[in-house]
Amino acid sequence: MKLAHRLGFYFFGFIIGLFLLLFFLGGKNASCDYSPNARVLKNIRIKERVFSEDILSSMQTHNIDTADISSILTTGNVDFGKSNTKLDSCNTYFIEGQIKEKNIGLHIANCDSIARMNALEILK
């Protein structure tokens, strides 16, 4: 069998496979969050968020609202070196992000059913 025929059969099967994937996964909200950073951020995003008094006062001082926090939880980076992931109940994470031309750091306690926002830092 010639190489051109082999490639034709391969691409025909490949295209059929793509159509089947689009058919089965097209209507679903499927995501590919495989990196540790993406998994932690998604886990925090889907939970109820509770803000401490410290973070609420810092947010008022720096003119930051909850939409900005949601943006950081979507596009931010988890600094695992500053995080404590070896706790039994609530792991604490340090998440860095940029909003309104400011570098922001969030200390978040990720518990079973809630994500507690503990502190907000303006990074330089």
Cα–Cα distance, 72 to 37 (Å, whole number): 12
pTM greater than 0.85: no
Q: How far apart are CA 111 and CA 118, in angstroms?
A: 12
List pLDDT tens digits, range 90-120: 899 999 999 888 899 999 999 989 999 999 9
Per-residue confidence band for 88, with pLDDT thresholds at 50, 70 and 90:
confident
Chain segment 41-75, per-residue pLDDT in tens = 999 999 999 999 989 999 899 899 999 999 999 99
